Structure 1
């Protein structure tokens, strides 16, 4: 298959290679079925895979997941690992919403029992969980307390009684990224984050109530505490304005570094600095701080969900049984150890719209999940459902322990809005059996199901590739958006 001047070699039914050309240091590798590839080639995502392959110190492949689509610098759904000795760190490989991610909460609630109370519960959650552009949380941070959030992450919430030790245990990296330095976060960024902690935000961020509709991998489902007919809660949010500002601040720093050192990058959005440079180390410290803010943010949101559900349904914590399955980010750069070309190396893995998928036995997994692999969450669109998967051994061999993070857009936000002119998205979602609460009709029109690839097809690719194994399919019951 050839798209414009990009040559694609189909290696298998679900893998494609872009050969090295024009200064690429490594080939490109994209996971996709032929049908999904026909969607991917509609934008510039493949060109961005090639551009990333120019970055100094990149190892093995510049990787695209089946949800890949055009983004800032890196494609969304892009993965790249850099040698720590001579590689670079690029904010474009992390994204503006640093450590944006998903938390899944399980419960003791069964759908038939919950359904009659669903309208009341959705209204309460929409009222109690701050969402939308400019939303403000109940927590007002002082500057000293902000620094504690930036260094403590989810663990800061434990000290306030808003998290349990179990919440922290079942959060990626124990809910705290190492190396965070509040001094690497500008005063402007901190100011933006002072009153946004515990807020959902807008865009594609959401709070969702789902039903576990089908189980594929019973052992993993049991380990995760999932069962057919169960009601579960998804929280998707990130570091809000603070993370956005950290990214914006360091893009200027990286642009100056790239010019000064004459780094050969084909796109200015790939501005970067060597990992060991002062600029690189400082960005990584700011990145970790913003990532910790995101962990704390999702923890407070999870706490709000617990409290609201228990109050509305008049249940105690034991009866409601709302507990964290896992919390995992998908906009990060992390130091990890991987086997590359037959030898183990320390690398810095950029995941832009991609999530970890560590396999059974990995030392970073909680003990309860070590036999089945890391929980992986692939939210689809708000009308067709989502998937829970488990990390599989193939991820370590093929994608630096990574997989996709969602279905992936196939329509721009503008195109989605145009397609629904004169139609009621609320009515259409009601027809599908999904309750929707949304602050903005514009946001809702941008998030219509048709704007996304079909999540089942995306998940089938990573399952067949041996990157992650399907555990359960979730059906949406209610969606709350900003």
Structure 2
């Protein structure tokens, strides 16, 4: 496919609207990142998304954009709530894959002698890898409550502190969640997986604060000094969300075949939002999102238990407070300005993080005055960033930001190109201890398989979509 790409201004490119497209494509990237996007189908997929019914303003590709299923990963698209659609592929198979950041009262010097012991304890308590099951056994009724109530269930069951709920996007609950139209297979796949990481690019990292760019906002987040220890958790809805996505993609391909055949790519399969099918998927997706928030919460619970055992101190003395928890594979119903008028939209963020500015009604109370924290993890062994949402994001990207480094090499290519022992040696030389269920999991997620996260964050900051607050550096990685 021929892509007519023009540079609008620094860090902004556009694919102009043409026949078959309902809106133009906006790509937020520097010249270097654009060249990477040209190596796969990222830009083609961004253009394809622009053909979907009811899409508003732009099809958007964020700086970390790379090829995905139908939509590019790093894709944002907003659809009119009455005339538009909801796309399972535009949300992703791992519904509410997201990131949670915890802060501690520990400094690097205090954790260094106990680092391997802590990692090994967490590894025992938080299962990692394909198909792994968790330590919590739920009845079908308990599982229903968990996925319909979100973090309110975790709090009631003793897995969460009250303040945890105050530092999670949407307070950890999408209220339309219902298990009524979720398949038995999805329930079977998810019922024993709460409190697990999974595989792929999911991880738990122990990090230290490497650099503070804005001390005032960092302090309001609970980050006070360089060398302070933090924990980053990256995982999602596991087999439960994956099966829900699969079920509704199959439904769309069968039931809306005539409409889908008109699209440039069948992977853009969608359901009209105001249809019964669209409503059923919305409720099911919301249940998967609630599962993911509970999943990260129960992992937090076991991380707290692990630190408490190793240090033999009350966990409150150690800290391990939630700074924030963001979703980056999700759809939300939000109001945004389109052509100067406020409209209610179904905003799809696939590999994109919400980045609302100060004063937004959607923000949790503690952060209304500073804006929404944005968490951008790097690849294994590279820096991660904390940013804060800004007003410019509402103008440019429906209040969205990048979500990570973005792949530039397939997992198969990484396996062909890199050696496990060399990777471990290189990471150890950087002072990073890695504990993984499989060697393949490490090789596939080698830092070289990803774009430069510093470049992604630099573009995000320069555009004013989000503002850099803190850079974090890993000292230990746990993965599947």
**TM-score normalised by L of structure 2:** 0.98
Cα distance change, pair 127–422 in 1 and its aligned pair in 2 (3 A): closer
Match of 2:202 among 202, 205, 210: 205
Deviation string 1:90-119 (CA, Å, 9 cap, x unpaired) is 101000000110000011011111111111
The worse-fitting range, judged by mean Cα deviation, of 425-434 and 206-215 is 425-434
Aligned pair 1:456/2:454, yes or no? yes
The residue aligned with 1:126 is: 123
Structure 2 regions of 5+ residues with no counterpart? none
| 2:180 alignment partner, SS class | helix
The answer as to whether partners of 1:211 and 1:477 remain within 8 angstroms in 2 is: yes
Match of 1:143 among 140, 145, 151: 140
The residue aligned with 1:272 is: 270
Aligned pair 1:158/2:155, yes or no? yes
The answer as to whether partners of 2:207 and 2:229 remain within 8 angstroms in 1 is: yes
Aligned pair 1:191/2:188, yes or no? yes
| 1:309 alignment partner, SS class | helix
Cα distance change, pair 215–263 in 1 and its aligned pair in 2 (3 A): same
The worse-fitting range, judged by mean Cα deviation, of 23-32 and 13-22 is 13-22
Deviation string 1:400-426 (CA, Å, 9 cap, x unpaired) is 000110010011111111111475221
The answer as to whether partners of 1:257 and 1:272 remain within 8 angstroms in 2 is: no
Match of 1:97 among 94, 113, 116: 94
The residue aligned with 1:239 is: 237
The answer as to whether partners of 2:169 and 2:364 remain within 8 angstroms in 1 is: no
Match of 1:475 among 469, 473, 478: 473
Alpha-carbon deviation of 1:370? 1.5
Match of 1:178 among 144, 165, 175: 175
The answer as to whether partners of 1:392 and 1:469 remain within 8 angstroms in 2 is: yes
Alpha-carbon deviation of 1:260? 4.6
Alpha-carbon deviation of 1:251? 0.5
| 2:256 alignment partner, SS class | helix
The answer as to whether partners of 2:260 and 2:268 remain within 8 angstroms in 1 is: no
The answer as to whether partners of 2:74 and 2:402 remain within 8 angstroms in 1 is: yes
Deviation string 1:302-325 (CA, Å, 9 cap, x unpaired) is 111111111111221231011000
Alpha-carbon deviation of 1:382? 1.5
Structure 1 regions of 5+ residues with no counterpart? none
Match of 1:49 among 46, 50, 55: 46
Cα distance change, pair 362–223 in 1 and its aligned pair in 2 (3 A): same
| 2:358 alignment partner, SS class | coil
Q: Distance in 2 between matches of 1:377 and 1:101?
A: 9
Aligned pair 1:16/2:16, yes or no? no
Aligned pair 1:376/2:374, yes or no? yes
Deviation string 1:451-479 (CA, Å, 9 cap, x unpaired) is 11111110000101110000000011100
Instruction: Say how many residue pairs are matched.
Output: 479
| 1:61 alignment partner, SS class | strand
Alpha-carbon deviation of 1:21? 2.1
Deviation string 1:331-373 (CA, Å, 9 cap, x unpaired) is 0011000011100000000000111001111112122212211
The residue aligned with 1:363 is: 361
Match of 1:308 among 301, 306, 309: 306
Cα distance change, pair 382–261 in 1 and its aligned pair in 2 (3 A): closer
The answer as to whether partners of 1:209 and 1:478 remain within 8 angstroms in 2 is: yes
Match of 2:112 among 111, 115, 125: 115
Match of 2:433 among 429, 432, 435: 435
Alpha-carbon deviation of 1:170? 0.8
Alpha-carbon deviation of 1:263? 6.9
The residue aligned with 2:318 is: 320
The residue aligned with 1:76 is: 73
Q: Distance in 2 between matches of 1:422 and 1:394?
A: 42
The residue aligned with 1:400 is: 398
